Each structure stands twice: as structure tokens, then as C-alpha cells.
Amino acid sequence: MDILKVFLYILVYPGLLFLFVYSTFVEWVDRKLYAKFQNRMGPMHTGSHGLLQPIADFVKLMAKEDIVPRACDKGLFNAVPIFALAAVLTSGLLLPVWHFTKGIESATSFQGDIIVMAYLLALPTFAYFLAGWTSTSMYAMLGGVRVLTLLFAYEVPMFLAILSPAVMAGSWRLADIAAYFQAHPLHMLFNLIGFAVGVVALQAKLERVPFDIPHAETEVVGGAFTEYSGRKLAMFRLLADVQMVVGAGFIAALFLGGFPGGLIPGFIWFVIKTLAIVFILSAMRAVTARIRIDQMVAFSWQYLAPLALLQLVIVIFIKGYMP
């Protein structure tokens, strides 16, 4: 029975099958919200109200010709999408959703898993850079350089933001942090600044408007993915959707008390909280315009990083005087 639960955890929830299905659903929600904010209809015809459109797009890309540039490093060019997708899928298994036995818990939840989670979510950014650099295309290489520049802008505020709930909970384990805020829900109010910084940094990590500088179509065609097509481009598209789900789950586990109540209630809370964060990301995408790369760097270091530091100081002060 324990072996069966292991396979269910890895393959079903929160594993591969769930992440694939739910990430395509979240993409549909994001596209519909984005359309509503702009007074459009969004996907409508594939499935009920366009619900199956993301899956149809994925299948269509998988069926298209897979072209590899003649001058590129073919081994690295082919491996990058698989490596990036594997990193994000692995990070999804660290989300504190449900645990069956002591063995399962030790495998997927441990002291320091918050750092491993942040590391795994950062790996796709390096993969994007390698994708652009190995393509030997001017547009792709420029997009790759922009990806790496953006990394140094948002990653420091993101790491500083996730420190605050860890310090307040007195643990570097995601499940312990979520349990602490479930037991002390009012303490979540002390981390509102960190939550805001984390959501903005997540938007930048996902390279969504206004931080879509690396693949700005009007400037660098498609950025790091300019030379990708077919199955590999489908993997990158799926990667972006899964990363949005896992990133939203990471923010929810840290700042919104996680997903209490066991399997079914926890699943319901996971859907509610991740969709709430996706709603914020979609609204941010709809009401802002693309900014320049230098503006993003300045914004991150002048505003996000100081705000994250301020949040950390507030939490340390509260923790020191808390009875």
C-alpha cells in the first residue's frame, strides 16, 4: 500500500499528471482573465468556453516539425527543454500538500526544502539562457542575455522575501512554515510586504508583462526561444504553465498558510489559493506595459530589495518581542 501511495504522489498528485492537467487549466484561467480585463472573450471554441484550448495548442506544437539549427550545439539544444521541465516538475513534489507515512515525509519534506525549492525554480532561468546561447541566433542570444540580466534583478528580492516567513516560523521546512501560519493566521498580516514582493518577483520569474523583456516580440522576435519549434517549444510552453502553478503554490505555502486539512480539503485549498495568486498575476499583466531591462533592474534594487529587507527587519523585531 505504501508503494502505491508513493506512485500516486509522484505520478498523480502533486506529481506529473496533476501538474500537466492543472497547469493547462491555469493557463486557460489566466487567458480568460486577461481577456476579460481587456474586454475580450479569450478562448471560446475548443471545449466548453475554450477550456481545452491550452491542451490543443500543446498537441498541435507536439505534432509540428522539430527544426534544429545547423550551427548550434545539438546535444545541449535538445537537452535544455527536458532539463528545465524536469527541474520544475521536481520542485512541484516539494510542495507541502499531503503526506502518507514517515518515509514519504522524509523524502519530500525536510529542513532546508525551502532553499531547494527556490533553487529548483531558479534553474529554468539558466536553462533559458543556455537555450538562447546555444541557438547561435542573434535574437536568441540577445534574449538569453536579457534572461540572465533579469535573474540578477528579481532573484535577490525573491530570496529576501521568503526569509521572512521562515524566520517568523523558526524553520526552513515548508511544511513547518505552513503549519505555523495555520496555527497563527493573524501573523500572516505581518508578511504582507513580503507577499507583495514575492508576487511581483514571481511575475518577473515567469517573464510576464511588464517583465517580458527577454522575449519581447517587437524587439527580439521570440527571445531565447526564437529557434525552437515543435516538441521542444511545446515543452517550454508547458514549462511556463507548470512554473506558474508551482510558483503560486510556493507563495501560498509561505505566506497564505499552506493547504491544511488532508488530501481533499488540502486539494481544494491548493486550487483556491493558487488561482487567487494567478488572478493577481493576470491583473498585473493586464494593467501594466512592458518596461525596459534597465528599468527592471533599477526597480528591483531600488524598491523590491529594500522592501524585502524592511519586511525581514519587521519580522525579526516582532519575533524578538513576541511572547
Q: What are the pLDDT digits (tens) for 231-275? A: 999 999 999 999 999 999 999 999 999 998 878 888 999 999 999
C-alpha cell recorded at residue 161: 522575501
Amino acid at the residue 254:
L
Q: Are 28 and 50 in contact (CB under 8 A)?
A: yes
C-alpha 127 chain-centroid distance: 14
CA distance 42 to 30: 10
Residue 215 confidence (pLDDT): 78
pTM recorded for the entire structure: 0.93
Q: Among 48-62, 87-101, 170-184, whose mean pLDDT is lowest?
A: 87-101
Residue 220 confidence (pLDDT): 61
CA distance 164 to 167: 5
Candidates 24, 61, 20; CA nearest to 233 is: 61
CA distance 173 to 152: 25
The beta strand positions in 128-180, using DSSP E, are none
Q: Are 37 and 287 in contact (CB under 8 A)?
A: yes
Q: Each residue of 23-32: pLDDT tens digit? A: 999 999 999 9
- Measure Cα distances from 190 to 63, 193, 239, 257, 312 in Å: 49, 8, 33, 13, 10
Residue 260 confidence (pLDDT): 87
Q: Among 32-41, 106-115, 146-155, 281-290, whose mean pLDDT is lowest?
A: 106-115
Q: Are 223 and 146 in contact (CB under 8 A)?
A: yes
Q: Each residue of 78-133: pLDDT tens digit? A: 999 999 999 999 999 999 887 654 445 556 788 899 999 999 999 999 999 999 98
Residue 234 confidence (pLDDT): 95
Residue 224 confidence (pLDDT): 85
Instruction: Give the burial class of 149: count Cβ atoms within 10 A of its Cβ; 0-12 exposed, 13-18 middle, 19 or more buried.
Output: middle
Residue 247 confidence (pLDDT): 96
- Measure Cα distances from 310 to 125, 252, 290, 316, 319 in Å: 27, 21, 27, 10, 14
C-alpha cell recorded at residue 153: 534583478
CA distance 190 to 137: 47
Instruction: Give the burial class of 194: count Cβ atoms within 10 A of its Cβ; 0-12 exposed, 13-18 middle, 19 or more buried.
Output: buried
